[in-house]
Chain A
Amino acid sequence: MNESYAERGYATGGKKSTRAGGVIITTLALLSTFLVIWGLYYATGTGERHKVALAAAGCEPNLLSVNVGCTTVWMLERRYTSITTPAVQQLNTDVAAYTAKERHSLAAAEAALRAEVASASAFDTSLAQFPFPPVVAPMARALIQAIHSRIKLTAEQARSSSLAQLRSFNDRVKAAGAAIQTEMKLVHKALYTRPTVNQEP
């Protein structure tokens, strides 16, 4: 009698103590079932959303990207910025170093110019390897050419034998710099503009 009472009591107590767990797990299982089914249903529309996203983002189908099958304008501009921003910062630092020394120390000024040539050459190489879309490619070539001209001029300037000769290059270097800026603006604008249908390759 006592034993069966104890067993019954234990069983009842056990059920009571696990009821909350049962309610929780059932509720969460139902919620999860709904979410998984909704997720699978939503996943069936992936292909269509993919096409819409590519069209909206301005897809360049000739450029490979594993995730979306092509490189979008957004991806391209981020990649372009990741090259130009540090390069321009470095070039500005080199120019500032030259400006600080151009009147005092020929050796230091020439060292700054050589550093500028190295930075500009690296920038030039990065741009030459960049997968510019066909629409932007002519502007990019002009930009690379402008950078190349300035590199030649700066290298020549770095070979000056006096401070006066060194400074005599300044106006021409400045003009070459202005040409680079103009070309960069054109590339930037072209890159950030979605190509029209007849411009697509």
Chain B
Amino acid sequence: MSTTRDYERGPYAREQDLYPAEPDVYPEGSDVYPDSGAYPDDALKTWGDEGELAADHQPRRRWSKCVDEWMDGRIKFGGTGVKRKTAALLLLGAWGFLPLFFMLPSLFTFNTNTIGGSVDDTLGTGAMVNLFMCLLITPVVTLTGQRWFIPLRRWYGIMFACCGIGDALGAAFFDDFAGNPFAKLVEHTFTLIGFLMVLLAIPLFITSNNWAQRKLGRYWKRLQRLTYVIWGLLFFHLATLEGFGFQRGSDGSGFAGDGDAIFHQRLYQYCACSLFLLTVRLPPVKRWIVARQQEGRNRIVFIAVMPIFALFVFGFIFIVNELIFKGTHSFVENPSSE
């Protein structure tokens, strides 16, 4: 099986070919995959991929493979069979649509009061959630060795772009800033940075399909690295939005009226989540993780990573809380005044 042939055939079309049941070919402890082309470089990449999947090339541990194989099995569902993986991906991926779902009633009724009042909170926070979910896939692959959830990376990436573009459109046409739609997007530092993020997300969104991936070849992977730039810009977007994380009275998103400004500060939430996402991507850390896994000392890896992941969860809970709180207000078309 040649790399070229696999590539041309469409990397996502036949995933079972990408992960063949060949336990003897990749024995435990093996350092590298045989150069068979069974795992073409680009075939494993999806939207939002960072192109740093060296750790994905670690030997696939037996239990990880078992989970992947189990996920390929079918479950009986109303007289027909559905792949466990498909069902799990649908269940996990549906949450990515939640921010847009919250805005649907106001879009159908064209309620400009709700769109203008809460699109930035609902879709902006939704974009942040989806970006973090998209960025979370690679570290989880690195740590667990499982691959069945890799398609979620593309889905969350697409949902991130939809939320971001929706946020920008809402801010441009319905926000109460002065000026024309373009002026509204560039007149403040944080809106300008947000606008730049959306501009960068557009090519990623457009090329988030197999056809574009085949056409762009190796450039596709480079293009997808813009996700990192967006991730970095999000820091500056939130920093300038939040007064660099310092709450001044009721000025800043930390003021939710409940006295817990620290937990509501989105810049802090960003930092708490990004620490895990960044740490597991650092090449020395990845090498350390792979080395421990090869030694069969996964427990050490999990113990070391657990506090950083706990911090991620800690920050992420408050982002999701914000999304659900503001989102439900948007859904009933009574935008939150907080």
Q: Mark A residues whose CB is within 8 Å of B.
A: 14, 17-18, 20-22, 24-26, 28-30, 32-33, 35-36, 39, 42-43, 46, 49-54, 57, 65-68, 72, 74-76, 78-79, 82, 85-86
A residues less than 8 Å from B328 (CB atoms): 66
B308 and A68 contact, CB distance less than 8 A = no
Q: Which of A28, A42, A79 has the most CB of B within 10 A?
A: A28
Give the complex CA separation of A35 and B113 in angstroms.
39
Produce 1/0 per residue, B256-274, CB < 8 A to A.
1111101100000000100
State how many residues of chain B have any CB contact under 8 Å with chain A: 39
Distance to closest chain B CB from A181 (angstroms): 22
Give the complex CA separation of A1 and B259 in angstroms.
69
B20 at the interface (CB under 8 A from A): no
Taking A49-B259, A54-B259 as given, write out 11 further A-B residue pairs in contact, using a Cβ cutoff of 8 Å, ordered by the A residue number.
A18-B284, A18-B292, A24-B282, A24-B288, A29-B306, A29-B307, A30-B307, A32-B308, A36-B307, A49-B258, A74-B250
B117 at the interface (CB under 8 A from A): yes
**Given A21-B289, A36-B307, do A67 and B337 touch, yes or no (CB 8 Å)?**
no
List 28 A-B residue pairs with CB atoms under 8 Å apart, sorted by A's residue number. A14-B291, A18-B284, A18-B292, A20-B284, A21-B282, A21-B288, A24-B279, A25-B285, A28-B308, A29-B306, A32-B307, A32-B310, A35-B272, A36-B310, A46-B259, A49-B258, A49-B259, A49-B260, A53-B259, A54-B258, A65-B257, A66-B329, A67-B256, A68-B258, A82-B113, A82-B117, A82-B337, A85-B176
Distance to closest chain A CB from B313 (angstroms): 9
**Given A18-B287, A42-B262, A78-B337, do A29 and B257 touch, yes or no (CB 8 Å)?**
no
Distance to closest chain B CB from A41 (angstroms): 12
B residues less than 8 Å from A39 (CB atoms): 263, 311, 314
Distance to closest chain B CB from A122 (angstroms): 11
A36 and B311 contact, CB distance less than 8 A = yes
A residues less than 8 Å from B338 (CB atoms): 65, 67-68, 75
Closest B residue by C-beta to A78: B337
